[in-house]
């Protein structure tokens, strides 16, 4: 590795920023410790340039799934630039937030009202605050990843490590008040009996869950949850911050025909610009007025401008169909390449958010090798692929041409012909989020 500017800056960052970055998922240690370029100078389409000017094709996480229209989409960026020229902030409110609220209610006919924020964790916290106020109850049942705020991490105060399958194993909730113990109860996806038991033994006012992540509902699971929430007068929230607009024009709940009382959108909705939304039924959302939910930068103009244009462009090109198709190609060719080289892998995730893992004791070392060798060949790559509309068939073909040699090396290691630890230029990558769904 000869391009060191990014790593040098990251080493400096670790002396100035706790953890080195703002986002766990972007830490270089998650990909290629000591050798990941770490910072970008430019991004366009599905290409990223590092601080040394080297160009890479991003066949990895595309801004953590934020840019389904690719980096620097011209239509979205032009709309934002017009807003910048006219002014992003003022004493008055921006009219775009009203237009965006109207559009989101149109996309979610069961909903009546909307609140906006700028990050997924904020949107989740807003939704929980409103739902608790509406239900008059404090206790929440959760399934999935819902951000970093106290209400969520408090689950690990209950009896040890309740978020192992939803966030990170062994996570210490330091800084989270211990008196929040037994206010949030995790349950496993597709385990209706577990959820029912939690509700039968606790005064649950809210159920919050990801609709689908790595695998879908079985035995009418989502409808059972909906019926249970209705019967027990519980507010049902679908966290669509990740899944929204990936397979449908809006929430992925549309695919299953089950409607919530509230839903959150993020990531895809602004194509890289900060905007998240909480939509819900009037009977629930008006409870926001009985609490205090307010923030200065929720009123800036760039986020709503970007979201309005992003939704328009997504609808025009049916982006969810494009990214799903490309994701399916990736999953199919991962499987085929693994079979060719007698490598055992497990593939999961929505097609547009595809992930695979090596079934081997050396899984993390192989993952590190993939990042290392693909980087040398001009690709940002790991064991996942977040699709965007700028990922063309030729990008996929070039990626697999490069990956073929890496898989051949991994196969040699599995058969004992090579030692994986002799092939790595640095430490093995860290493990990331652990998800039961």
Last residue of a domain, one of 270, 296, 317: 317
Q: Evaluate if residue 394 carries a pLDDT over 90.
A: yes
Identify whether residues 339 and 329 lie together within a single domain: yes
Q: What is the pLDDT of residue 160?
A: 65
Please name the helix (run of DSSP H) or strand (run of DSSP E) that holds residue 346, with its range, or none: strand 345-348
**Predicted local distance difference test score (pLDDT) of residue 173:** 85
Dump pLDDT digits (tens) for 38-68: 999 999 999 999 999 999 999 999 999 999 9
Same domain, 307 and 397: no
Are residues 144 and 120 in contact, defined by beta-carbon separation less than 8 angstroms? no
**Does 238 lie in the same domain as 175?**
yes
The pLDDT value given to residue 437: 43
Q: Assess whether pLDDT exceeds 70 at residue 1.
A: no
Please report which confidence band the pLDDT of residue 118 belongs to, taking 50, 70 and 90 as the band edges. very high
Higher pLDDT, 262 or 431: 262
Tokens of 174: 């330091």
Write the CATH number for 194.
3.40.640.10
Cα 155 from Cα 74, distance rounded (Å):
42
Q: Are residues 179 and 260 in the same domain?
A: yes
Query: Is 435 contained in some domain?
Result: no
Co-location of 372 and 346 in the same domain: yes
Task: Say yes or no: 312 and 348 in one domain.
Answer: no
Question: Residue-wise over 147-172: b if at least 16 C-beta within 10 A, else e?
Answer: beeebbbbbbbbeebbbebbbbeebe
On average, the pLDDT of the chain sits at 95
Q: Tell whether 67 is covered by a domain.
A: no
Residue 15 lies in a domain: yes
Domain of 56, CATH number, reads: 3.90.1150.10
Model confidence pLDDT, tens digit, residues 82-109: 999 999 999 999 999 999 999 999 999 9
- Residue 245 and residue 314 in contact, taking contact as beta carbons nearer than 8 Å: yes
pLDDT in tens, 188-198: 999 999 999 99
Q: Provide the 8-state DSSP code for 417.
A: S
Report residue 436's pLDDT band, with 50, 70 and 90 as the boundaries. very low
19, with CB counted inside 10 A (0-12, 13-18, 19+), is exposed
Sign of the alpha-carbon dihedral angle for 124, 125, 130, 135:
positive
pLDDT mean over 319-342: 98
Does residue 168 carry a pLDDT above 80?
no
- Does 123 lie in the same domain as 210? yes
Q: How many CB atoms lie within 10 A of CB 421?
A: 10
- Domain-ending residue, one of 317, 352, 377: 317
Relative to beta strand 276-280, strand 184-186 is unpaired
How many structural domains is the chain composed of? Answer: 2
319: exposed, middle or buried (Cβ count in 10 Å: 0-12, 13-18, 19+): buried
Of the three residues 264, 285, 317, the one that is the final residue of a domain is 317
Q: How far apart are CA 384 and CA 358, in angstroms?
A: 12
Residues 30 and 143 in one domain: no
CA dihedral 327, 329, 331, 334 (to 10 degrees): -130
Domain span including residue 179 = 74-317
- pLDDT recorded at residue 332: 98
Nearest to 63 by CA among 428, 395, 387: 387
Q: What is the pTM of this model?
A: 0.95
Give the mean model confidence (pLDDT) for residues 193-217: 95
Per-residue confidence band for 3, with pLDDT thresholds at 50, 70 and 90: low
């Amino acid at each position: 590795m000869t391009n060191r500017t990014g790593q040098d800056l990251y080493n400096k960052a670790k002396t100035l920023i706790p953890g080195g970055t703002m986002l766990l998922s972007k830490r270089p240690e998650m990909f290629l410790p000591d050798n990941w370029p770490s910072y970008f100078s430019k991004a366009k389409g599905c290409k990223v340039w590092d601080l040394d000017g080297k160009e890479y094709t991003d066949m990895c996480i595309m801004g953590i799934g934020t840019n389904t229209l690719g980096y620097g989409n011209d239509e979205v960026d032009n709309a934002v630039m017009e807003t910048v020229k006219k002014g992003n902030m003022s004493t008055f409110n921006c009219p775009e937030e009203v237009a965006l609220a109207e559009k989101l209610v149109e996309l979610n006919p069961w909903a009546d009202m909307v609140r906006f924020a700028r990050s997924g964790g904020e949107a989740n916290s807003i939704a929980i605050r409103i739902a608790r106020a509406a239900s008059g109850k404090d206790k929440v049942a959760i399934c999935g990843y819902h951000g970093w705020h106290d209400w969520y991490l408090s689950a690990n105060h209950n009896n040890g490590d309740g978020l192992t399958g939803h966030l990170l194993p062994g996570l210490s909730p330091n800084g989270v008040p211990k008196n929040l113990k037994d206010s949030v109860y995790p349950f496993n996806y597709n385990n209706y009996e577990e959820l029912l038991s939690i509700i039968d033994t606790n005064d649950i006012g809210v159920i919050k869950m990801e609709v689908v992540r790595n695998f879908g509902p079985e035995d009418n699971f989502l409808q059972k949850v909906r019926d249970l929430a209705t019967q027990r007068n519980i507010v049902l929230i679908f966290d669509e911050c990740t899944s929204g607009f990936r397979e449908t024009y809006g929430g992925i709940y549309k695919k299953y025909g089950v409607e919530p009382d509230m839903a959150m959108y993020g990531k895809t909705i602004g194509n890289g610009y900060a905007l998240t939304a909480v939509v819900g039924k009037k009977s629930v959302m008006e409870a926001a007025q009985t609490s205090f939910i307010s923030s200065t930068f929720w009123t800036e103009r760039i986020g709503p401008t970007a979201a309005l244009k992003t939704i328009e462009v997504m609808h025009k090109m049916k982006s969810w169909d494009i990214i799903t198709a490309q994701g399916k190609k990736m999953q199919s060719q991962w499987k085929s390449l693994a079979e060719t080289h007698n490598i055992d892998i497990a593939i999961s995730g929505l097609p547009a958010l595809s992930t695979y893992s090596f079934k081997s004791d050396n899984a993390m070392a192989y993952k590190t090798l993939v990042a290392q060798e693909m980087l040398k060949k001009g690709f940002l790559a790991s064991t996942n692929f977040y699709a965007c509309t700028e990922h063309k068939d030729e990008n996929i073909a070039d990626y697999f041409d490069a990956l073929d040699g890496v898989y051949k090396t991994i196969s040699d290691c599995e058969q004992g012909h090579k030692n994986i630890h002799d092939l790595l230029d640095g430490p093995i990558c860290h493990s990331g989020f652990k998800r039961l769904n």
